[in-house]
Amino acid sequence: MEKKRQIRNNRWVDVPMTNDVWHLLKEQRMSDTYYKRGDGQATRDLDWVEATHRNWVHEIIDLSEFPYCYFVNGTTDAIHHWLLTDDREYQHYQGEYEYPQMIRPGHEACVGYKDSVIDPDKVLYVSVPSGCDGNYFDLEDVDCPVILDCTYVSTTNIQRINPPKNTEQVFFSFSKGFGLVGQRLGLVYTKEPHKTLHTLKEFENWNYGGVKTIDLIMSNYSVDDMWNTHKDKQLELCDEYNLIPSDCFFLANSSDEYYKRRRRMKFNDSARLCLTPLTTW
């Protein structure tokens, strides 16, 4: 009962920390990226990581319509650069990742149980897999501009994401799948040059060590390795606690009234629960 209470009371997602990633990080040295800015070494590293990443995720999402790629300090930084350079109103589904709303409140698209209205004149911020429950879902080909957050890619098996035709930016993170919360590693893809990130890129102004760490991770893991490695543990925990496995290996869902406080969506009575406090991954 104590562990059930623990996951019920845990509002947040605790990303798994694994020994194999910890040991892998020991292979990287700060001196590996002691570059002189402007000599092209950092750009070559980033170009390599971009090409590798496009291929790394290609079975999940086709990024060919997004020719521009930028390093950012995690998804939170991607959100900063988006909201601080875009004065349009935005909307989101209920239960979405809270951080954009902390920076600048948006409009909730849900208007009632299983009922939502997408305003074609507002930007839609949406995560797939969803921050609401860690699951993939079919994203409607909406008419409004879309900011697509793919933070949970690398925590799931391979499923297809089809970006709506009006998608302007796609975000990726390496914190969720690999426990790299303090390293702040992310990539942003855009259809047009980004208002701030493009200038920073022209001056090679980003975290060179972060780019090397992304390369290290992708060189040692496929995009679905963590899910393949830990899915059996997820299933064991879900069976023990009578939970429904999420597409994300360290999350589960439940419609049990006991977990009601962890429900995030009006259109779904399922609560998002983090399994990390119950085990060592």
33-84 per-position pLDDT tens digit: 999 988 999 999 999 999 999 999 999 999 999 999 999 999 999 999 999 9
Contact in structure between 100 and 86 (CB atoms under 8 Å): no
| Average pLDDT along the chain | 94
User: Residue 14: CA atoms inside 13 Å, Cβ hemisphere, count?
Assistant: 16
List the one residue out of 161, 164, 170, 165 whose CA is nearest residue 70.
170
Confidence of residue 106 (pLDDT cuts 50, 70, 90): very high
220-245 per-position pLDDT tens digit: 999 999 999 999 999 999 999 999 99
Give me the pLDDT at residue 11, please. Answer: 87
Contact in structure between 66 and 189 (CB atoms under 8 Å): yes
List the one residue out of 158, 196, 137 whose CA is nearest residue 148.
137
Give me the pLDDT at residue 2, please. Answer: 85
Predicted structure pTM score? 0.96
182-221 per-position pLDDT tens digit: 999 999 999 999 999 999 999 999 999 999 999 999 999 9
Residue with token string 């930084």: 77
248-266 per-position pLDDT tens digit: 999 999 999 999 999 988 7
- What mean pLDDT do residues 13-18 have? 94
- Name the residue with higher pLDDT: 115 or 89: 89
How distant, in Å, are the alpha carbons of 50, 58, 134, 138 from that of 161?
19, 10, 14, 8
Distance CA 52, CA 99 (A): 28
Give me the pLDDT at residue 232, please. Answer: 98
- What mean pLDDT do residues 148-168 have? 97
Confidence of residue 173 (pLDDT cuts 50, 70, 90): very high
- What mean pLDDT do residues 93-116 have? 84
Q: Given a cut of 70, is residue 113 above it in pLDDT?
A: no
Max distance between CA atoms of the chain, in angstroms, equals 59
Give me the pLDDT at residue 1, please. Answer: 73
Instruction: Please name each of the domains of the chain with its CATH number.
Output: 2-20+224-278 (no CATH), 38-220 (3.40.640.10)
Instruction: Write the DSSP string, 213-273.
Output: HHHHHHHH--TTHHHHHHHHHHHHHHHHHT-EEPSSTTEEEE--GGGGGGEEETTEEEEEE
